[in-house]
Amino acid sequence: MEGLRDLYRFRDFDHFIEVWILTTNALRTEDDFRRIVVDYAEEAARHGAVYIEGIFSPIERTWRGVRWEDIFEGYCSGAEQAKELHGVEVRLTPDITRGAEPEDGIELAGQAAAYRDRAIVGVGLGGEEALHPPEKFVEAFRLVRDAGLGSVPHAGEVVGPASIWGAMDALQADRIRHGIRAVEDPELMEELAARQIVLDVTPISNLRTGVVRSLEEHPLPELIAAGIPCTVSTDDPEMFDTDLTREYEAIASLGIHPRELYEAAVQGALCDEATRAELAQIGADYEWSGLAVGAGERLAEDAAGLPAALEEH
Catalytic residue set: 157
Cα(302)–Cα(164) distance, integer angstroms: 34
Closest CA to 168 of 193, 205, 202: 193
Cα(185)–Cα(13) distance, integer angstroms: 22
Closest CA to 154 of 46, 280, 16: 16
Closest CA to 311 of 201, 195, 149, 208: 201
Report yes or no: 129 and 98 within 8 Å, Cβ to Cβ: yes
Query: Which amino acid belongs to residue 65?
Result: G
- Which residues have CB under 8 Å from 115's CB, separation 6+? 72, 76
Closest CA to 129 of 156, 151, 169: 156
Cα(73)–Cα(79) distance, integer angstroms: 10
Residues forming beta bridges with residue 309, ordered by sequence position: 51
Using the CB atoms, write b or e for 74-104: b if 16+ within 10 Å.
bbbbbbebbeeebebbbbbbbbbbbebeeeb
Composition of the chain by helix, strand, coil, percent to 5: 55, 10, 35
CB atoms within 10 A of CB 212: 18
